[in-house]
Amino acid sequence: MELAWMAWTWQTGVFFAGIASLLLTLTLLAIFRPETERVGVIGIATTRGDRLFISLLGSAFIHLAWLGLVGPGLGWASGLALLYAAAVFRWV
């Protein structure tokens, strides 16, 4: 594939492919496993999509905080973000 166009790199490609596949998964889930909103620990009604959004936004801040406070080497930050996402999907 030609990646020189607009200076695309495979790393950003992987990143967006990941997000696109998450969205695709949610779309398929919405079609085959419809859901209703539920109210979790923060007291607002959320759907799976809302919880994914909260997870992604939180993960971005977790990675940034790690980068700013600890430094490069984001393996632990990603682990923390995954834990956070799991908690969001379980309890929010």
Partner 1 sequence: MKPVNQKAWLLVLPVLLIVAFSAVIPLMTVVNYSVQDSFGNNQFFWNGLGWFSELLDPKSDLGSRFYDSLWRNLAFSGIILAIEIPLGIVVALSMPRQGWTVSATLVLMALPLLIPWNVVGTIWQIFARGDIGLFGAAVNALGIDFNYVANPLAAWFTIIVMDVWHWTSLVALLCYAGLKSIPDAYYQAARIDGASRWAVFRTIQLPKMSRVLLIAVLLRFMDSFMIYTEPFVVTGGGPGNSTTFLSIELVKLALGQFDLGKAAALSIVYNLIILSVCWVFYTVMTAADARADADAGRV
Whether the CB-CB separation of 65 and 83 falls below 8 Å is answered with: no
User: x-or-dash pattern for partner 1, window 18-57, by CB under 8 A?
Assistant: -------------------------xxx-------xx--x
Nearer to partner 1, 15 or 91 (CB): 15
Q: Determine which residue in the list 24, 28, 64, 87 makes contact with partner 1, applying CB under 8 A.
A: 64
Beta carbon of residue 11, minimum distance to partner 1 (angstroms, whole number): 6
Whether the CB-CB separation of 89 and 75 falls below 8 Å is answered with: no
Beta carbon of residue 30, minimum distance to partner 1 (angstroms, whole number): 13
Under the binding rule (CB under 8 A), the answer on residue 76 touching partner 1 is no
Regarding beta strands 45-46 and 38-39, do their DSSP bridges make them parallel or antiparallel, or are they unpaired? antiparallel
Other beta carbons less than 10 A from residue 54's beta carbon: 18
Nearer to partner 1, 53 or 83 (CB): 53
Sorted by sequence, the CB contacts under 8 Å of residue 81 that are 6+ apart come out as: 55, 58, 59, 62, 63
